[in-house]
Amino acid sequence: MIQVHNLVKRFHSFGREVLAVDHVSFTVSAGEVYGLLGPNGAGKTTTVRMIVGLLQPDAGYAEVHGYRTSQANDAVKARIGLVSAEDGVYPWLSVREMLLFFADLYGVPTPVARERLAPLSELLQLDSFLDRRCSTLSTGQKQRVTLGRALIHDPPVMLLDEPTRGLDVIGSQVVFEYIAHLRRQGKAIIVSTHQLDEAQRLCDRFGLLHQGRLQYEGTLDDLRRLTGRDSLVDMFVGLLGRPVVGPITVSP
């Protein structure tokens, strides 16, 4: 469903070149939750943005549902639901108006979008504020609107970039339930996060990014065997203390 092949991205900052993503490759199948883990600045967000086509890779490519991002960007975008921690809402639109607007952007006819709104608002508990202006919502409510927005066109692929950042326990719980729901729906999901305990509970497979390189990749059991450590947190601590080398992967 998602194929990332040797993605490379360099940024130029004050005359210095920074290698943000360094030949990263992985695949995610339908119904699988892939955790893209790493400390801040590891290249998680950049990788996600390159998959959607919001950033152009310097080398390599990403493929979604058979379409290459660099060549059929609209086809790729149509198949992705993107949730980002920095997502905002339109303050002067009501929640319903905003969701229908995004449905329209993705070419979903309004009657179909209205039908989808009912189960979606039930899942994310939007009912109580569906007709309120977004400017009056709390942070948690806004985040739920964002999760709904990413799902209104019913995409087969979901990219969640730090979906729980800035949320309280209840807010985070909504996100976990949301991801579980997406998995049941058979969607291919990438969750980028640095909250490792959550990731451990949620994800089927993991990619550990450090300084732009994919250091370890595989299921939790694979990683335990590879690193000799039990929890993701321990693996991470070990990773941060270790010099950067090529990816150590276990083929699934």
Partner 1 sequence: MPDDNSLQHEISATGDSAASNSGSTPTQHRSATGRLARLCLKELRETLRDRRTIVTLVLMPLLVYPLLSILFNKVLSLSGDASQKYECRVGFEAPSKEDGALFEQYFQLAEGVWRIRRTAQNQGANQQPPPSGNRPDPAPEPTIQWWKGPNLEKQVANGEIDVAVFVTRVPSSRPGQQSRSLRLQLLYRESSALSKAGLEYLERRFSAFNEQYLLERLQSSGQRARLPILQQRRVIRDTRPAVSLTTLIPLILILMTITGAVYPAIDLTAGERERGTLEALMAAPVPRLSLLTAKYVAVVTVALLTAVANLFAMTVTLFSTGLGEAIFGVSGFPALLVSQVFALLILFAAFFSAILLAVTSFARSFKEAQAYLIPLMLLSLAPGTISLMPDLKFSGVFSVVPLVNIVLLARDLMEGHVDPALATIAVASTLIYAVAAIALAARIFGTDAILYGSQASWSDLLSRPREYRDTPSISGAMLSLAVLFPVYFLLAASLQRLQWLPTGTRLALAGLVTVVLFALLPGAFTLLQRIRFRSAFRLYPAPFAVCGLAVFLGLSLWPLAHEVFLLNRVFGITTLSGERVQEAEKLLGQLRLLSPALVLTTLALIPAVCEELFFRGYLLGALRQRFSSGTTIVLTALLFGVFHVVVTSALSLERLLPSMFLGLVLGWVCERSGSLLPGVLLHATHNGLLLLMGIYRDQLMDRGWGSQEREHLPLLWIAIATACVVVAGVCLHWLTRNRTPRPPSENAPA
Nearest distance from C-beta of residue 121 to partner 1, angstroms:
17
Nearest distance from C-beta of residue 217 to partner 1, angstroms:
23
Between 77 and 183, whose beta carbon lies closer to partner 1? 77
Burial annotation 122-149 (CB, 10 A radius, 16+ → b, else e): ebbebeebbeebbeebeebbbbbbbbbb
Nearest distance from C-beta of residue 40 to partner 1, angstroms:
15
Structure tokens at 95: 């929640």
Distances from the Cα of 192 to the Cαs of 13, 38, 164, 241, in angstroms?
A: 24, 8, 10, 21
Positions that interact with partner 1 (CB under 8 A)? 11-13, 49, 52, 54-56, 61, 63, 65-68, 70-75, 77-80, 82, 84, 86-93, 97, 101-109, 112, 116, 133, 146, 149-150, 153-156, 185-187
Nearest distance from C-beta of residue 184 to partner 1, angstroms:
12
Between 187 and 210, whose beta carbon lies closer to partner 1? 187
Q: Are strands 33-37 and 188-193 parallel, antiparallel or unpaired?
A: parallel
Between 153 and 183, whose beta carbon lies closer to partner 1? 153
**Chain mean position to CA 125:** 21
**Chain mean position to CA 175:** 12
Between 179 and 223, whose beta carbon lies closer to partner 1? 179
